[in-house]
Amino acid sequence: MDNDICKFFDRAAKAANMTDREFVRLRVALRKWATSALREGAAARPRKSMTHPTPSRFLAASATLFPFTPKDERYLFRRILAELPRRRSSPRFSLIHVLDWHLPYRLVATMACVILLMTTGVTVSFAAESALPGDVLYPVKIYVNESVQSLRQSTPTAKAAWAVERVERRLREAVALRVQRRRTPSRERMLLQYLRQHRKEAQAQIIAIAPEHTSAETLRLQSTLEATFTAYRDALTTAAASTDDGSLLRELELAAEEAGAAREEAVDALTELPAEELATEFIEHEQEALTAAEDVREAWTTARQHVPGDVSSAVSERLEQTEEVMEEIQEHKEAGDFAEALLSAEEVHRLAQETETLLMIQEQLQEQSEEAPSAPEEPPVPSPPAEETTGESTHPEQQEPTEPMTEEEPLSEEGGTATDTTPEPPEHDERGAVFSAASSAQE
Residue 416 located in a structural domain: no
- pLDDT bin (cut points 50, 70, 90) of residue 7 is low
CB hemisphere CA count around 85 (13 angstroms): 1
Q: Average pLDDT for residues 5-28, to the nearest whole number?
A: 60
CB burial of residue 49 (10 Å; 0-12, 13-18, 19+): exposed
Yes or no: say if 206 and 163 are a contact pair by the CB < 8 Å rule.
yes
Residue 228 located in a structural domain: yes
Residue 212 located in a structural domain: yes
Model confidence over 102-161: pLDDT tens digits? Answer: 555 566 667 777 777 777 777 777 888 888 998 988 988 999 889 888 898 888 888 999
Distances (CA, A) of 221 to 217, 260, 350, 359: 6, 11, 10, 20
Residue 425 located in a structural domain: no
Residue 179 located in a structural domain: yes
Yes or no: say if 385 and 341 are a contact pair by the CB < 8 Å rule.
no
User: Does residue 421 surpass a pLDDT of 50?
Assistant: no
Q: Which of 10-24, 309-323, 326-340, 411-425 has the lowest mean pLDDT?
A: 411-425
Q: Which of 283, 282, 262, 141 is nearest to 210 (CA)?
A: 262
User: What pLDDT does residue 379 have?
Assistant: 47
- pLDDT bin (cut points 50, 70, 90) of residue 166 is very high
User: Does residue 64 surpass a pLDDT of 80?
Assistant: no
User: What pLDDT does residue 430 have?
Assistant: 44
CB hemisphere CA count around 276 (13 angstroms): 0
Residue 49 located in a structural domain: yes
Looking at the DSSP bridge assignments, the partners of residue 78 are: none
**Backbone phi, psi, residue 112, to 5°:** -65, -40
User: What's the whole-number average pLDDT of the chain?
Assistant: 69
Q: Which of 75-84, 291-300, 381-390 has the lowest mean pLDDT?
A: 381-390
Of residues 354 and 284, more confidence is placed in: 354
CB burial of residue 293 (10 Å; 0-12, 13-18, 19+): buried
Asked if residue 268 and residue 165 are part of one domain, the reply reads yes
Rounded distance between C-alpha atoms, residue 391 and residue 325, angstroms: 73
Q: Which of 48, 63, 82 is the last residue of a domain?
A: 82
The residue segments making up the domain with residue 293 are 273-368
| Long-range pairs for 271-279: beta carbons < 8 A, 24 or more residues apart | 271/339, 271/343, 272/214, 273/214, 273/339, 275/338, 275/339, 278/338, 278/339, 278/342, 279/338
- Which run of H or E residues covers position 146? helix 146-152
Q: Which of 199-213, 288-302, 396-410 has the lowest mean pLDDT?
A: 396-410
User: What pLDDT does residue 348 have?
Assistant: 82
- pLDDT bin (cut points 50, 70, 90) of residue 72 is low
- pLDDT bin (cut points 50, 70, 90) of residue 393 is very low
Count CB neighbours of 125 within 10 A. 15
CA quadruple 298, 304, 306, 312: dihedral sign: positive
Yes or no: say if 217 and 157 are a contact pair by the CB < 8 Å rule.
yes
Asked if residue 256 and residue 233 are part of one domain, the reply reads yes
Of residues 374 and 313, more confidence is placed in: 313
User: What pLDDT does residue 403 have?
Assistant: 45
Asked if residue 66 and residue 6 are part of one domain, the reply reads yes
Asked if residue 252 and residue 163 are part of one domain, the reply reads yes
Q: Coil, helix or strand for 67?
A: coil
Q: Which of 105-109, 295-299, 373-377 has the lowest mean pLDDT?
A: 373-377
Q: Which of 314, 342, 368 is the last residue of a domain?
A: 368
Q: Average pLDDT for residues 37-58, to the nearest whole number?
A: 53
User: What pLDDT does residue 411 have?
Assistant: 42
DSSP output for 228-296: HHHHHHHHHHHT--TT--SHHHHHHHHHHHHHHHHHHHHHHHHTTS-HHHHHHHHHHHHHHHHHHHHHH
Q: Average pLDDT for residues 157-182, to the nearest whole number?
A: 89
Residue 11 located in a structural domain: yes
Q: Average pLDDT for residues 415-438, to the nearest whole number?
A: 44
Q: Coil, helix or strand for 423?
A: coil
Model confidence over 328-362: pLDDT tens digits? Answer: 877 877 777 777 777 788 888 788 878 888 787 87
**Backbone phi, psi, residue 235, to 5°:** -70, -45
Asked if residue 196 and residue 268 are part of one domain, the reply reads yes
Rounded distance between C-alpha atoms, residue 410 and residue 408, angstroms: 6
pLDDT above 90 covers a percentage of the chain that reads 5
Asked if residue 225 and residue 165 are part of one domain, the reply reads yes
CB burial of residue 434 (10 Å; 0-12, 13-18, 19+): middle
Q: Which of 68, 64, 57, 49 is nearest to 1 (CA)?
A: 57
Q: Average pLDDT for residues 42-49, to the nearest whole number?
A: 49
Asked if residue 53 and residue 27 are part of one domain, the reply reads yes
Residues in the chain: 443
User: What pLDDT does residue 406 have?
Assistant: 43
In b/e form, how buried is each residue of 197-208, taking b as 16+ CB within 10 angstroms? Answer: ebbebbbebbbe
Asked if residue 314 and residue 268 are part of one domain, the reply reads no
Q: Show the beta-strand stretches assigned E in 70-229.
A: none
Rounded distance between C-alpha atoms, residue 419 and residue 424, angstroms: 10
Asked if residue 179 and residue 265 are part of one domain, the reply reads yes
Of residues 140 and 400, more confidence is placed in: 140
Residue 431 located in a structural domain: no
Asked if residue 313 and residue 214 are part of one domain, the reply reads no
Distances (CA, A) of 334 to 222, 328, 337, 338: 27, 10, 8, 9
Distances (CA, A) of 440 to 206, 375, 379, 384, 433: 51, 16, 11, 17, 11
Looking at the DSSP bridge assignments, the partners of residue 417 are: 411
Of residues 389 and 123, more confidence is placed in: 123
Count CB neighbours of 384 within 10 A. 18
User: What pLDDT does residue 80 have?
Assistant: 58
Number of domains in the chain: 3
Asked if residue 352 and residue 289 are part of one domain, the reply reads yes
Asked if residue 279 and residue 258 are part of one domain, the reply reads no
Of residues 42 and 209, more confidence is placed in: 209
Of residues 106 and 167, more confidence is placed in: 167
Q: Average pLDDT for residues 44-72, to the nearest whole number?
A: 56
Q: Which of 75-79, 123-127, 257-261 has the lowest mean pLDDT?
A: 75-79
Model confidence over 175-217: pLDDT tens digits? Answer: 888 888 888 889 989 999 999 999 999 988 888 887 655 567 7
User: What pLDDT does residue 428 have?
Assistant: 44
Looking at the DSSP bridge assignments, the partners of residue 411 are: 417
Q: Which of 247, 251, 199 is nearest to 224 (CA)?
A: 199
Q: Which of 226, 250, 272 is the last residue of a domain?
A: 272
Of residues 422 and 28, more confidence is placed in: 28
User: What pLDDT does residue 165 have?
Assistant: 92
**Backbone phi, psi, residue 411, to 5°:** -100, 130
Q: Average pLDDT for residues 287-312, to the nearest whole number?
A: 76
